[in-house]
Each structure stands twice: as structure tokens, then as C-alpha cells.
Amino acid sequence: MVFYGVKIFLCYILCMKLKFDREVRKSIADELKKISNFGGVGLGFMGYSSNSPVILLGAFIWWIVCQTISHLLMSIQDEEGE
């Protein structure tokens, strides 16, 4: 179910142009990077302490997805063609 939501969000970003200015996109991307780091560290610590490679894999996937979304947000060009 979570992957379905991520898939819809990515399709929305890629298929429709967001009408946020550069500062808003930058602040959202910065927050996503913080969330990915804290979530990755938290899940990684939980996976390491419980000796569960599935949770460690989940931490890696969490980090990759959040970083990808933040970079996609930053790659959107403004209409003026920055």
C-alpha cells in the first residue's frame, strides 16, 4: 500500500508540473533529505540491533526513495527557464 502511494506521488511529479517556486521546492527537498537521514539511521539501528536484514534493506530503500524524490523536486525547472 505504501509503494502504491509512492508510485502515485512520483507519477504526479513526473507527469504534471508543480506550481511551486524554487524556494518552496528547495525547502521541501531539504526536509525530505532530513527525513531520509533520520529514518535511515533509525531503521538501520533497529535492523542492526535485531539482526534483521529485512529491516536493514528497508532502511536502504527508504533512504534511496526519499533522496530520489528530493532530487526530482530540485530538478524541476521554473517556467522562466532558470
What pLDDT score was predicted for residue 12?
59
Q: Determine the residue type at 70.
A: S
Quickly state the pLDDT bin for 4 (edges 50, 70, 90).
Answer: low
Residues 13, 24: Cα–Cα separation, whole Å: 15
* pTM over 0.75, yes/no: no
Quickly state the pLDDT bin for 17 (edges 50, 70, 90).
Answer: low
List the grid coordinates of 74: 530540485
Mean pLDDT of 3-29: 66
- For residue 48, give the 3-state DSSP assignment: helix
Is it the case that residue 81 has pLDDT exceeding 70?
no
Instruction: Kindly write down the DSSP assignment for every residue of 27-52, as one continuous string.
Output: HHHHHHHHHHHHHHHHHHHHHHHTT-
Is it the case that residue 52 has pLDDT exceeding 60?
yes
List the grid coordinates of 63: 533512504
